[in-house]
Amino acid sequence: MSKCVVITGGTRGIGKACVEKFASNGWNVVFSYHREEEKAQKFQKELSDKGYSVRAIQSDVSSSKDCRVLISNAICDFGRIDGLVCNAGISLSEILTKTTDEQLDKVMKTNFNGVYYCCREAAKEMIPNQSGSIVTVSSMWGISGSSAESAYSASKAAVIGLSKSLAKELGTSGIRVNCVAPGVIDTDMNRVYSEQDMKDLADRTPLGRIGKTEEVADLVYYLISDESSFVTGQVISCDGGFGL
């Protein structure tokens, strides 16, 4: 019986690379999207045409109800959940004194609450099975903090704290929880940086380049798979050495 993984934010960037990675390795994949329905359906069809088992579901992860429906749909379609990748997130480049209550609320609800909601719903299904693996996606800024991105950095730091806590709480139920902290990756989210900014960031990276989404997806896949069966509670950077 093929395993099932739920991946949030699966239509672009790291999430899309994760969907492709798991699908190509024989997993049943349920991925969420927020607004880009046409894009999501096209992506689902492309993978289905290749013989992969994939389903796209509209979901706003900042809504606990939507997260509950997302996990329920995965159970209805495939009978169980073996893996959860909490990838959906938004960015905010703004200094502290100009960050509005609404901006802070949106970033925290999407980047932190969304992870919490999805983990809570997935855990309800994984605990009776006494197995499962969860990977959350934080950021190098969640570890070190970033100037003029305090709200974003705080939301990603919260994900790290949650991941460590859940690793302890869920470990007795055979559920592993790990966190990936990407560095500067070639994604739409980083389009806010100018070409010169990206060059400067690449120059500051010991490996001398920007990361690829596939490289993060490879790490996520390893952490979800049985190959990492004794790895839990870890925050693993995929940043080319940027955070050294």
- Say if residues 53 and 20 touch (Cβ distance below 8 Å): no
Is residue 193 annotated as part of the catalytic site, yes or no? no
CA pair distance 70, 222, nearest whole angstrom: 23
Which of 33, 116, 117, 152 is labelled catalytic? 152
Provide the CB-side half-sphere exposure for 244 (13 A, CA): 9
CA pair distance 114, 27, nearest whole angstrom: 23
- Say if residues 171 and 119 touch (Cβ distance below 8 Å): no
219 CB-contact burial (10 Å; exposed 0-12 / middle 13-18 / buried 19+): buried
Backbone angles phi, psi at 187, to 5 degrees: -130, 165
Quick one: which of 11, 92, 88 has its CA closest to 46? 11
* Positions marked active-site: 152
